[in-house]
Chain A
């Protein structure tokens, strides 16, 4: 499903983020990328999402060489296949919950009824139905997290990526998050979580744990 071949990623200031990374992930797997900040796990997520391109090597998702796509098509690929939960959520605070969730679908020009049904599906799934018209800036941390996940899920993506999802959460909310991951696994998504939260290292539904250190896969 997801394959990294000899992927290297260098940044402008000669920082080597990734150094000859090779791995393959199967469809439906839940994978945890374990490593400290700066180890390169965020770069891996970014590459899978097509948000950046490798300096050398190839990223192949579902048989598509996404590292070779022009930006325009990389975005289309991302829109159709990826759901991203960011560390800082990156919601738009001045918009309502439902607007935030629907945001990825806006350029797709779906019919109104389709949008409505998908929206209500996500609202119910993640328990934020009552707050759907509230502005995001007025939500609690936990509620915002749920909105972020709903947004990531609304386009029925094949792959869900989460970057340090529990970094700003207490234990209770972290556990809630894990429950939501389970829900998404049951929807047959491939899930990659980049984290250094030990809560994730011994979960039963996690299929693999990959260790990243200094840009190398251990």
Chain B
């Protein structure tokens, strides 16, 4: 039972930690992100709508962004390319710092340290050749590398000038990946989002808040998935316990007979057995939690993390945020202790109500 609790505990701790991380990160996403769709599929957006958006009352800023992913065949990896304009301030604090500290020469890019290592392995030390949409190559110098923070974004990250990013993605001068909109008054976000939709009926307007909720439900779902596994395994366990306790050994029968003969009532025997069950399940619970703790926070949850983060390449070596709350603890409690005791009720009762007669013979 300890293992089960530990397993479930780790799941919850992990998802909680990730949620905490995520909510930290989420501060750096813009209030509203506007993307365009064509035939309900995501496509690039026209930069010029920025002026229309800025015209809406309450919008404090609208920034077209160019970024995307690039698939590197040789290493079977996907890179994230973020195009930046040196003079802009971005919602992402880390990005801003990067802009301040490094400079961008023409035709060069900054790569994350991990990416630099990866490219080296593919014999790209000082530059890299991107393959464009039309098949032509674009050679870009690797000017510097940076520390990638503990982010959910790919650790294979490239920062380059927006212009350059455009070239690589084969964007025209008018295209942008999306538009990051900041709103001065939080309460107006929904209202403004509606206005944008009216302006651009095809656009997909995503609010930061919705993202949070969506992510929450995603994690709830995933935890739910684990929960189902847990239930099934517990059910099996239930049956095993029940079976074990129902198999009354002659030793046990004798003991109960003796107890009854010296004056123990059925309720006394029952209580003793139930206390025993309580103690066992409680200690298993505590032990399980401690184990889960160690697994997640000390060992960094090796296997489980992979299941939670969809692509294995996104595995980070970051230490998880310490986030333990009463809810999770009580959740685990209610899932383990009452169930264990329930499994022992009927068997304990059977034992306690044995006849004491045999003892006499």
Return the chain B residue nearest A163 by Cβ: B360
Known pairs A79-B265, A90-B359, A155-B263; list 15 more (Cβ under 8 Å): A42-B360, A45-B360, A71-B265, A76-B263, A79-B262, A80-B263, A82-B263, A84-B262, A86-B261, A90-B261, A104-B264, A106-B264, A106-B268, A107-B264, A107-B268
Chain B contacts for A45, CB-based, 8 A: 360
Cα A143 to Cα B264 with chains together (Å): 24
Count residues on chain B whose CB falls below 8 Å from chain A CBs. Answer: 21
Residue A52 lies at the interface, judged by CB distance under 8 Å to chain B: yes
Stretch at the interface among B46-54, B194-202, B252-260, B336-344: B252-260
Q: Mark B194-225, 1 if CB is under 8 A from A, else 0.
A: 00000000000000000000000000000000
A49 touching B261 by the CB < 8 A rule?
yes
Chain A contacts for B26, CB-based, 8 A: none
B357 touching A90 by the CB < 8 A rule?
no
Residue A51 lies at the interface, judged by CB distance under 8 Å to chain B: yes
Residue A112 lies at the interface, judged by CB distance under 8 Å to chain B: no
Residue B267 lies at the interface, judged by CB distance under 8 Å to chain A: yes
Residue B361 lies at the interface, judged by CB distance under 8 Å to chain A: yes
Cα A91 to Cα B262 with chains together (Å): 10
Cα A58 to Cα B258 with chains together (Å): 25
Residue A128 lies at the interface, judged by CB distance under 8 Å to chain B: no
Return the chain A residue nearest B263 by Cβ: A79
| Contact residues on A (Cβ < 8 Å of other chain), bracket | 20 to 34
Q: Is the interface of B mostly helix, strand, loop or mixed?
A: helix
Chain B contacts for A92, CB-based, 8 A: 255, 258
Return the chain B residue nearest A151 by Cβ: B262
Return the chain A residue nearest B269 by Cβ: A107
A71 touching B266 by the CB < 8 A rule?
yes
Within the complex, what minimum Cβ distance (angstroms) separates B291 from chain A? 30
Residue B91 lies at the interface, judged by CB distance under 8 Å to chain A: no
Residue A72 lies at the interface, judged by CB distance under 8 Å to chain B: yes
Cα A46 to Cα B357 with chains together (Å): 8
Residue B140 lies at the interface, judged by CB distance under 8 Å to chain A: no
Residue B356 lies at the interface, judged by CB distance under 8 Å to chain A: yes
Within the complex, what minimum Cβ distance (angstroms) separates A49 from chain B? 7
Chain A contacts for B260, CB-based, 8 A: 51, 75
B263 touching A51 by the CB < 8 A rule?
no
Return the chain B residue nearest A91 by Cβ: B258
- Pick from A52, A72, A75, A78 the residue with the most CB of B within 10 Å: A75
Residue A103 lies at the interface, judged by CB distance under 8 Å to chain B: yes
